[in-house]
Amino acid sequence: MAGGCPPVATATIEILKHDGSVAETLTAPITENHFTATWIAKAQTANWRTDRHRFRFTAAGLTCTSANEFRFRQRPTTAWILMDVDHPTNNGFAPVVELHDARLEADRVHYSLKLGLTGAPFGAAKQASAKSQIETVWNNGFAAKKFHRTNCRRGRACDCAFDCCKANYRLDVNFIANGFRHVDVEIFTSPPPPAARHRSGMGRNGSHWGDPPINVTSTYPHETGHVLGQFDEYPTGGTDPSGVQPANSPVPNLMATSGNTTLLNRHYRFALAFLNNHAAGDPYEIIPP
């Protein structure tokens, strides 16, 4: 610290932003020529990864500015990783699977699902509509949530506006004509009314969609859930032996109730696990709980 600081009762500590303006002001009593103050570090700009923070101390009219600087530790990132995990179900069904790519990016967990198409024609417009619907349900389902550092001193009510202690989620779904696909989906043209529409199902093998599906709001997003590791949440379905996803959900949601697109924290638990497996030992949880 530069500058002489005579012994006085109270010191003022200003936390400086990268541009030199004051972010926060603390005060601390001076005892035996030293003082201690605690600043709960908080990112001040979207450039928190490169911002430098110095401290300015004032006592008895004299001001000292720190030579050392504070920098935020950055969250690790990863390349794309193929997720390929079977999760056995109850009731004799085939396992649900995590079968997609995942990547930890600077500010989010990013999933990529590549689908191939066989069977009846499913043209560009239908592909775009299905892609948009599935992405919207799964991405909007996380819109009011965040992955949040468990060790953040601001706790679950953290109001930090930037992503230093928070991360988002994104799912991209794309139909691939040539090249690697995670899942091939056979399209069946549903019969005209009043006949029942073709049932859809997705898994490691034998995936199939009715076009149009039984429920135009929820069928494709629900089935996609089965290749994102999600179980059914009604008693007669492919339910979760561990019980993390209840076999009879009291809350209507995408995996429990036809026509419902609500998603809950438990539906993003594998994305959270991916983050925690790659966050260099700095654990995260989903907020709000």
Partner 1 sequence: MRFDRIEYLNAVLEEAPQSLIIDASGRARYESHSNAETPDHAEIGNYETTLARERVEQLSGALDNPPFGSLPDHWGQVLPSDHYRRIRLVTRTETIEKMVGTRQPVNPALRELIRQLDEIANEVARHPRQILRIELAQAGISSTGEMTATLTLSNSGTEPVAYRNPVRMIGADDAHLSLQIWPDKPASELRAEDMFTVDVETATAARPSGGGEADPAVITIPSAASVSFRLQARLPSSRAGTYLTRALYETLTRAIEGNPVMTGEVFSRTVKVNIP
List interacting residues with partner 1 (CB under 8 A). Answer: 89, 92-96, 189-197, 199-203, 206-208, 211-212, 216, 222-223, 226, 231-232, 234, 236-238, 252, 257-260, 262
β-pair partners for 130: none
Smaller CB distance to partner 1: residue 58 or 89?
89
Q: Which two tokens stand for residue 200?
A: 């859809």
Q: Minimum Å distance from CB 205 to partner 1?
A: 8
Q: Minimum Å distance from CB 264 to partner 1?
A: 13
**Angle at Cα 249 formed by Cα 207 and Cα 241, nearest 5°?**
65
**Buried b or exposed e, range 249-270, using 16+ CB within 10 angstroms:** beeebbbbbeebbebbebbbeb
Q: Which two tokens stand for residue 89?
A: 């179900």
Smaller CB distance to partner 1: residue 252 or 288?
252
Smaller CB distance to partner 1: residue 57 or 220?
220
Smaller CB distance to partner 1: residue 148 or 226?
226
Smaller CB distance to partner 1: residue 182 or 208?
208
Smaller CB distance to partner 1: residue 43 or 187?
187
Q: Minimum Å distance from CB 90 to partner 1?
A: 10
Q: Minimum Å distance from CB 142 to partner 1?
A: 19
How far is Cα 214 from Cα 257, in angstroms, rounded to an integer?
Answer: 13
How far is Cα 249 from Cα 235, in angstroms, rounded to an integer?
Answer: 9
Element (H, E) at 123: none
Residue partners of 194: CB distance under 8 A and separation at least 6: none
How far is Cα 45 from Cα 156, in angstroms, rounded to an integer?
Answer: 20
Given CA atoms 5, 8, 9, 12 in this order, what sign does their dihedral have? negative
Q: Minimum Å distance from CB 20 to partner 1?
A: 53
Q: Minimum Å distance from CB 199 to partner 1?
A: 5
